Amino acid sequence: MRSTLLAAAFLLGSLAPAAAQDETAWSEIRANILGARPIEDGAGTIALEAPTRAEDAALVPLTVRLKGDTAARVSRITLVVDENPAPVVGTINIGRAGGEFAFSTRIRVNSYSFVRAIAETEDGRLMMVKSYVKAAGGCSAPAAKDPVEAKAHLGEMRFRVVAERGEAQAQLRHPNYSGLQMDQVTRLYTPAWYVEKLEIRQGDRPLLSMTGGISLSEDPTIRFSYASTGEPVTVEARDTQGQVFRKEFPAAGS
């Protein structure tokens, strides 16, 4: 059923007039997100990896890599999907001590849109790169799991380390309802209910924190650059219902 509905949503989005690859939407939302601060071309500092045409608009993979001399001074990354109902996917605060950094997650894309990664340095400079993604219906696509299963596993966490690649992956089981999804039985919209804050620490040192919204995919998953200090890793999340989920993992993952 899910694959059929996704295919239909994708087809409808493909047949509808696609948003032109211009800056119209961005010009309307830019000030609300960043104010009037100047934004530099981030090509020398940021690499954004996103599919040109997504296979699943509700699970669009996205990777941001910080590189070059300026990478060590970047403290925050903001992800934006211009055409989404809530354009700001999330803001990632980086706790690492300098050096290059990579971050990956999965997002929802509601219609053909520019996806943007905006890096902010410690002294307030803004740098941006963008990629155009062809996808439709991601924010309204039905959840992959039924509500009973989602609640049964709510808050379960995983933390895995891939030492040879210098990265770790954290996952939280949560439906992350967007508020735009229709219950296929009742034909009513499922109220928005999503993870709004996720923090990862090693010992007392923050590795990263992320403020998210409805554009993050179901079961939020984060992959990021990681070098173990031998101290345990704590993953903590809070959702819009005020529920807090927390688990401690060994430094090598589990």
User: Residue 237 pLDDT more than 80?
Assistant: yes
User: Residue 5 pLDDT more than 80?
Assistant: no
Distances in Å between the Cα of 121 and the Cα atoms of 107, 118, 211 are 24, 10, 18
Q: For the stretch 72-104, what's the b/e string if a residue is b when 16 or more beta carbons lie within 10 angstroms of its beta carbon?
A: bebbebbbbbbbbbbbbbbbbebebeeeebbbb
pLDDT score of 20: 57
pLDDT score of 16: 38
Q: Mean pLDDT across the chain, nearest whole number?
A: 90
**Better-predicted residue by pLDDT, 169 or 252:** 169
* % pLDDT > 70, the chain: 91
**What amino acid is encoded at 146 in this protein?**
D
Average pLDDT estimate for 227-251: 96
Range with the poorest average pLDDT among 7-11, 91-95, 177-181: 7-11
The answer to whether 176 touches 220, Cβ cutoff 8 Å, is yes
pLDDT score of 146: 84
Residue in the block written with tokens 């997100």? 33
pLDDT score of 14: 39
**DSSP secondary structure string, 105-117?**
EEE---SSEEEEE
Is residue 185 very low, low, confident or very high in pLDDT (cuts 50, 70, 90)?
confident
Give the β-pairing of 113-121 and 101-107: unpaired
Is residue 187 very low, low, confident or very high in pLDDT (cuts 50, 70, 90)?
confident
Which tokens is 8 given? 């239909």
pLDDT score of 98: 64
Beta bridge partners of 80: 88, 116
User: Residue 62 pLDDT more than 50?
Assistant: yes
Predicted TM-score (pTM) of the model is 0.89
